Structure 1
Amino acid sequence: MKILRDTWLVYSRAMLLNLKQPVWLIVMLIQPIYFLFLFAPLLEPMDGMPGFEEGAMETFVPGLIIMMALFGSAFVGFGLIAELRQGVIERMRVTPVSRIALMLGRTLAAVTSTVFQALALVLLAALTGRLDVYWPGVGLMLLIVLLTGFMLAAVSLGLAIVLKSEDAMAPTINTLVQPIMLISGIMLPMVMAPSWLQNVAEFNPFYYAVEAARALFSGDLGSDYVWQATAFIGGLAVLLVWWATRRFARAVA
């Protein structure tokens, strides 16, 4: 099928560019490492407290992985802005490559990088000896990470097509990401928050992604948060990928 073949070609090119310039991938892994070694130890006295019943590290690391997906995927649009400025997108107008594939290939490349970074962080946390890892749950958790990264990468690429400027892109992304992160329970479980803030968090799909990641990480495969996160994040991913693909198709039409 032409779309699949074209998607693979665009994906391969994007991954090759990532491998040639891996600095961005390394930088996006360093920040979670800082949190892992400089912030997580502060939570160890909270083992057994509400929200930390499974352990401090077992609670914090899954949230950290969702944060990695949040920030790692939300900023991929900056690369597309550079390609717009260099005329790469303009030259694509005369190619027979599917316009949908041009978008999907880039999105899949961003998601692949995020999943590998998440897996590297889990392995690193496990090597510290302070974390009990339920690997089947981690495998399912990476599917949540994949959906999260796919959705955010699509949003980032769509915004890049609309804004066409790093000066506009940076504050827009930060304005969107910061409140999402703060009311998702990434840093601390929302059970510790006042009731009004917990009520607000229930409207944040990333709250369900964080709780699902924690449930899967601890081996609770039947948690309601798992199907809720899959439904909310999956539904939003389909909707936002459709929107971003339309924006991208118009840009290179």
Structure 2
Amino acid sequence: MSSTVTPPKPNTIAHPGAIAQTNTTASNGFADLVQETLALTRRLFIQLQRRPSTLVAGIIQPVMWLVLFGALFQNAPQGLFGNSSSYGQFLGAGVIVFTAFAGALNAGLPVMFDREFGFLNRLLVAPLASRYSIVLASALFIVSQSLLQAAVIVAAAAFLGAGLPNIAGLGAIAFIVFLLALGVTALSLGLAFALPGHIELIAVIFVTNLPLLFASTALAPLSFMPKWLQIVASLNPLSYAIEPIRYLYLHNDWSLSSIVMQAPWGTISFGGALLVLLGFSFVALVSIQPLLKRSLA
């Protein structure tokens, strides 16, 4: 009678050295990604240091808006622009948001110029830990620049009499600017890889800039607008950044349940506006992933 010999089961317990090696490899990969991102970000800041005209213009222009538009409507009747004490205070939130939006919309231009001058090809053939460091560096640079511009505008608005939110309010403004700049930067970088050249990207920027400004609550409240424009402004992500910041200028005691905007379909709370901005940034980041994978492959 024959007997069946069962082969011994293989040892499924991983060797501790293999686990440690895997963890070390992952840690080194992440460290390399951080190093590459910081190095590429430093390159962009060096370019800005050598040619600071873009940053200077991005600060001077919104300050001029505050001065000129504030003076233009300084004799407006009290209460015409809601609870704001002056049109300069009302306009301050719109200028902060629109400056961050305009800067983030230009985020794709450096990448587009790198494409056209051949530097991007050199990066793509370089032994990078992750080619996503190219995109992360651009996003980090633009978001940092947007926060710097927002800080200068907040200080200028306070000097011009618009007031200053408390510490928690300033932190909330920084978070709102961050969310908006992140989402718009993602879309701009996606366009930089999708469009054939910088002329087309500049055309998109010109066509998008002013319509989104006027179709928001930056210059006038919703109650001033016709019904169709109220609907458009209520769908504009800029309005969901402007109204919470405007509320912070008028109220030191605020919460996520505070009502910041009366849309045609209902009230929008502070937390609801943040969720809209968070969703906008998430959708923008997810939507460019397939394009980035093809472009960076």
Verify same fold: TM over 0.5. Answer: yes
How do residues 120-131 of structure 1 correspond to structure 2 at under 5 angstroms?
120-128=152-160, 130-131=161-162
Which sections of structure 1, spanning at least 5 residues, go unmatched? Answer: none
Distance 1:47 1:98 in 2: 57
Please give the per-residue CA displacement for 1:136-195, whole angstroms capped at 9, x wherever unaligned: 213211211111111111111110111131221122223233322111111122222123
Secondary structure in structure 1 of the residue aligned to 2:83: coil
Q: Residue in 1 aligned with 2:23?
A: none
Distance 1:47 1:143 in 2: 33
How do residues 1-253 of structure 1 correspond to structure 2 at under 5 angstroms?
1-2=30-31, 3-46=33-76, 48-55=78-85, 56-95=87-126, 96-128=128-160, 130-136=161-167, 137-219=169-251, 221-222=254-255, 223-224=258-259, 225-253=269-297
Distance 1:87 1:227 in 2: 44
Larger-Rg structure? 2
% same residue:
25
Q: Residue in 1 aligned with 2:9?
A: none
Distance 2:179 2:193 in 1: 21
Q: CA RMSD in A?
A: 1.9
Please give the per-residue CA displacement for 1:188-213, whole angstroms capped at 9, x wherever unaligned: 22222123321232222221111111
Distance 1:101 1:235 in 2: 23
Distance 2:94 2:130 in 1: 36
Distance 2:288 2:47 in 1: 22
Q: Which has the higher helix share?
A: 1
Is the 1:66–1:145 contact (alpha carbons within 8 Å) kept by the matching residues of 2? Answer: yes
Distance 2:206 2:36 in 1: 32
Is the 1:51–1:192 contact (alpha carbons within 8 Å) kept by the matching residues of 2? Answer: no
User: Structure 1 residue 47: deviation in Å?
Assistant: 5.8
Of the structure 1 ranges 65-74 and 243-252, higher mean CA displacement relative to structure 2 is found in 243-252
Is the 2:100–2:181 contact (alpha carbons within 8 Å) kept by the matching residues of 1? Answer: yes
TM-aligned CA distance change 1:218 to 1:16, over 3 Å: farther
TM-aligned CA distance change 1:239 to 1:196, over 3 Å: closer
Is the 1:151–1:241 contact (alpha carbons within 8 Å) kept by the matching residues of 2? Answer: yes
Please give the per-residue CA displacement for 1:52-111, whole angstroms capped at 9, x wherever unaligned: 312222211011111101111111212211110111111112222412221111111001
Aligned length: 252
Is the 2:89–2:157 contact (alpha carbons within 8 Å) kept by the matching residues of 1? Answer: no
Which sections of structure 2, spanning at least 5 residues, go unmatched? Answer: 1-29, 260-268
Distance 2:116 2:204 in 1: 19
